[in-house]
Amino acid sequence: MAGGKQSPRQKMINLMYLIFIAMLAMNMSKEVLSAFGLMNEKLSVANEKATEQNDKAYESLAKKAVEQAKQYGEAKEKTDALKAEADEFYGYLEDLKGKMTSDVKDKKDYETMDKSKFLDEYFFVNGTITPKGKEFVSKMDEFRKTAIEVLGETDLAGTVNERFNTNPVTNKDKIKISWLNYHYEGFPLIASLTKLTQIQADVKATESDALSTLLKGELESAVSMTNYDAMVVFDKNAYYPGEKLSGKIVLGKNDPNLTAEKVIINGKDWPEDKIKAGQVILDGPAGSVGDRDIKGSFFFKENDSLIEIPITGGYSVIPRPNEAVISADKMNAVYRGLANPMTISMPGVPSNKVSASATGLRKIKGDSYIMTPGKGNEVTIRVTGKLPSGKPVTSNKKFRIKDIPPAVGAVRGQYGTVSMPKGSVGNVSVGALLPDFLFDLKLKVSSFKIKVPGQPAVPVTGTRMSSRAKAAIAKARRGDVINIFDIKATVVGSGAPVKRVVGVGIKITN
């Protein structure tokens, strides 16, 4: 490549060297064009997902605005305005992208999208911006303006302003040129196409950010309603049979950080240790039979004064009931062969003045009993209590007697059809389970049968595979389902038999 007279051979070498450099440059350009195309594809997919997520958020807000118009009406109006502007701008960009590629036969052949002619003629003419170019910038400005109006004075407004800024830009030669010239004049078609897709992504991100901003903080707290309690307020606290019920349900804000300076109830200052976490704890004797008033005041400090909030309420003290309350701790029935825990009491009567009797019933202590039913379909428990007046009161309650439900066979703690290698089947232990049963029972398997496809069933005693069973297993092939059935099991502790155990299958994986 040096100066001076060169031989024909040297000239040929120099020429090939120049051709080689040119080929490298061409390959590099094609790689860049392909990279823009792949980026455009990923942005397009992301925009579709963002559209789905934003639509769900809009639907959720619309539903809440219908349910609670005062709370969410304003937020919905703002986001509706933003959505309308976003849809219009997004659609405009999509239409422009369609025009740009209308003459491109293969929309995936990005290496052919290396010309800048379309936008150079669409946006510019004789060094000036065309009406179409001005329309593009105007639509971007309109969207930015609408988004900032919706967001108000928030940190996100600054981000939106940067995303859609169309101010003049200083180029590498330190010369200020228009935003449109800087970004879209002289660029390959695929590069400009990707830039438009990125603007669409910014539109979707702005919608998402706006929805989040409007629904977070105080608005988000209101959406969840976690700071409110529903309180039932009756006109009185005791009613006779057939009497009309009257009252109301109100929402009250529950603020655990709000503590009263002072509380007076029925003329007495309430102790400080009973005033905490936004509540006043009522604690004391109910009094004699009759209606009782609760009147007083909350006092809260606000600036330099105390704000008084009246307390008005009441309750009724009624005579003690004379019927027994009997309930099974875990169910509305008792199970044969099991120790069923029960609580038996009579309101107003001490546990030492209450007695209960039934076949299979025994007292543990206090009001705790154990019922172990035997034969039959139901059992009647008879309860007798002695009131303070000395008068006896008797009450009866019937319970259904049920058998233990069918169990399921299991290997490795799994039931149904379990997949495992053939080499592991011979080492498994067969068990039985009672999934979703109210009692946490352990079952003991005493025997079972195993059936390998193409082989006779083999009976097995215990929980482990016998030598005969292992020999049959060795003949199983991949995809075979080995059935374990006719499983016999009892309840550990009581020895009660389980009437039926559903079999378990093992699918051979190799």
Q: Can you give the pLDDT at residue 34?
A: 84
CB 159 within 8 A of CB 218: no
Superfamily of domain 325-402: Immunoglobulins (2.60.40.10)
Q: Buried (b) or exposed (e) across 250-262, using 16+ Cβ within 10 A? A: eeeeeeeeebbee
Tens digits of pLDDT across the chain (510 residues):
445 555 555 555 555 545 444 443 444 367 778 888 888 899 899 999 999 999 998 998 888 777 667 667 888 898 999 999 999 999 999 999 999 999 888 888 888 888 889 999 999 998 899 999 999 999 999 999 999 988 887 778 889 999 999 999 998 888 999 999 999 998 899 989 999 999 999 999 999 988 888 776 444 444 444 555 656 566 655 543 454 667 776 666 665 555 677 888 888 888 877 777 667 787 777 776 556 788 888 787 655 677 888 888 777 665 555 556 566 555 678 998 888 999 888 876 778 889 999 999 999 988 899 999 988 899 999 999 887 667 888 999 999 999 888 999 999 999 999 999 999 999 999 999 999 888 888 999 999 999 999 999 999 999 999 999 999 999 999 999 999 999 999 999 888 889 899 999 999 998
* Residue type for position 452: V
Q: Can you give the pLDDT at residue 181?
A: 92
Helix H or strand E segment including 248: strand 247-253
Q: Can you give the pLDDT at residue 27?
A: 41
Q: Can you give the pLDDT at residue 316?
A: 63
d(CA 206, CA 151): 10
Percentages helix, strand, coil for the chain (3-state, rounded to 5) are: 35, 30, 35
Strands 290-302 and 262-265: antiparallel
Where do the structural domains in the chain lie, given as residue ranges? 8-222, 228-317, 325-402, 407-508
Q: Can you give the pLDDT at residue 438?
A: 83
Alpha carbon 262 to chain centroid, angstroms: 42
Residue 131 φ then ψ, to 5°:
-55, -35
Residue 274 φ then ψ, to 5°:
-100, 5
CB 434 within 8 A of CB 337: no
| Global pTM value | 0.44
Q: Can you give the pLDDT at residue 331?
A: 61
d(CA 153, CA 174): 34
Q: Can you give the pLDDT at residue 249?
A: 65
Domains 325-402 and 407-508 share a fold: yes
Looking up tokens 């009257």 gives: 246
Q: Can you give the pLDDT at residue 351?
A: 81
Q: Which CATH architecture has domain 407-508?
A: Sandwich (2.60)
Q: Can you give the pLDDT at residue 283?
A: 75
Q: Can you give the pLDDT at residue 99?
A: 93
Q: Can you give the pLDDT at residue 227?
A: 56
- Strand, helix or coil for residue 279: strand
d(CA 110, CA 151): 38
